[in-house]
Amino acid sequence: MLPIPKPAQDAQSVFDACTATAKPLTARTKLQALKDTVAKAAAEYDTAATNRALHTLTHLQDQPDGKPKKLGGINEQLKKTYTNRMVHKKSPGRDVYDQLLAEAPDGRCALCGQGIADTLDHQLPKTHYPLLAVTPANLVPACRDCNFYKGEQAPASAEKQTLHPYYDGQVHEHVWLFARIVGPPTPAVSFCASPPPEMPPLLAARVRHHFTTLKLARLYNPQAGPELRYLSRSLRRLPTAAINEHLRERAADWTAIEGPNSWQAALYRALADNSWYTKHGYLEPWK
């Protein structure tokens, strides 16, 4: 997860801009009448997200209709406010959509840190929380894979909530992503989330849930293969006694650049700690 500053856009202003020209006029009138309701829901969202308690917002589910699938109701209009009046090219809210997407670090998905951020993910799905459909703090730049894996499930408990890039930056105060080096005969790598004992239990549970839900092992594991092949050529140029220090320096560099829970930092930490790899294993990929 890549931390991002919380959006500066005001939820009520964004909603107003998205609905001010809605058609037909009857739909516009109904939507505009909800500006204060949307602003209140956004404020509750901010408080709950700050306290890692988005699961407590069940009273906002299916509001204001109170029915999950009432065709033609105001809930459907609220959801269309996102799809038709924010995402759609030349729509009144498209500037906000593009601004939120532009906050993706290096254009990468804030949820996995690897994929291309080409969509916005609703942290609380608009299917269940239509009042939050265009609330900026609920919209995170993400890749389509993470958006798909996350799906439209609302968190049933505090532990079953994925990490929120706008609110959970402190998760990287702990090292929880680790790589496991498999070998001999040839080196292979697998990644896992293993929060340390001193990490707050709730945050640790959410780290595991995030890692599993977004299938991050499936994403990170293949990245290590090309890195190991490149590294094999590089390490052959060094004296054997210098390899361990070189790997630790690379781990420190990746930690400084991408954070302690980047797959690169985890990989180099594991390689430096593996005596087989530092003595013999680095030669294997090119035999």
Q: Where are the domains of the chain?
A: 11-152, 170-286
Over residues 65-80, mean pLDDT? 83
Residue 287 has pLDDT above 80, yes or no: no
Share of the chain above pLDDT 70, in %: 97
What pLDDT score was predicted for residue 91?
94
- Between CA 19 and CA 92 the distance in angstroms is 8
Residue 30 has pLDDT above 90, yes or no: yes
CB neighbours (10 Å) of residue 279?
12
- Between CA 150 and CA 121 the distance in angstroms is 9
- Between CA 273 and CA 271 the distance in angstroms is 5
Residue 172 vs residues 73, 102, 203, 267: alpha-carbon distances, Å: 42, 22, 11, 16
- 171-197 per-residue burial string, b: 16 or more CB within 10 A, e: under 16: bbebbbbbbebebeeebebebbbebee
pTM across the whole model: 0.93
What pLDDT score was predicted for residue 31?
96
Q: Match 């995030």 to its residue by tokens.
A: 210
Residue 114 has pLDDT above 70, yes or no: yes
Over residues 81-97, mean pLDDT? 95
